[in-house]
């Protein structure tokens, strides 16, 4: 069973540290796909993770789902 989970990165942007969040698709401990640095808004990435799990998204489509979510009105 594929589990979607949040991943965190910290990077320097214009001299200050910014935490960003992404998504990782995991099956039995194996990472099947990931998209890093989606947003600094943790709750937005959390909503996307919930959708990926609810619709049983294939990891092959993860980057497309992220792109669609970012350009949607719900982002």
How confident is the model at residue 59, as a pLDDT? 97
Q: What is the spatial distance between Cα 40 and Cα 21, in angstroms, rounded to a whole number?
A: 6
Q: What is the spatial distance between Cα 25 and Cα 35, in angstroms, rounded to a whole number?
A: 9
- Going by pLDDT thresholds of 50, 70 and 90, the confidence category of residue 75 is low
How confident is the model at residue 73, as a pLDDT? 72
Nearest to 34 by CA among 74, 62, 1: 62
Per-residue pLDDT of 3-21, as tens digits, reads 999 999 998 989 999 999 9
35 touches 62 (CB < 8 A):
yes
Per-residue pLDDT of 22-58, as tens digits, reads 999 999 999 999 999 999 999 999 999 999 999 999 9
What pTM was computed for the model?
0.88
Out of 3.80.10, 3.30.730, 3.40.640, 1.10.10, which CATH number does the structure's domain 2-71 have? 3.30.730
CA atoms within 13 A on the CB side of 13: 8
- Here the tokens at position 23 are 């998504």
């Amino acid at each position: 069973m594929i589990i979607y989970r949040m991943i965190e990165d910290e990077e320097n942007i214009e001299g200050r540290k910014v935490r960003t969040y992404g998504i990782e698709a995991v099956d039995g401990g194996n990472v099947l796909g990931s998209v890093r640095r989606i947003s600094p808004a943790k709750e937005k990435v959390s909503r996307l993770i919930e959708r990926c799990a609810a619709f049983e998204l294939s990891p092959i489509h993860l980057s497309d789902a992220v792109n669609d979510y970012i350009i949607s009105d719900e982002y």
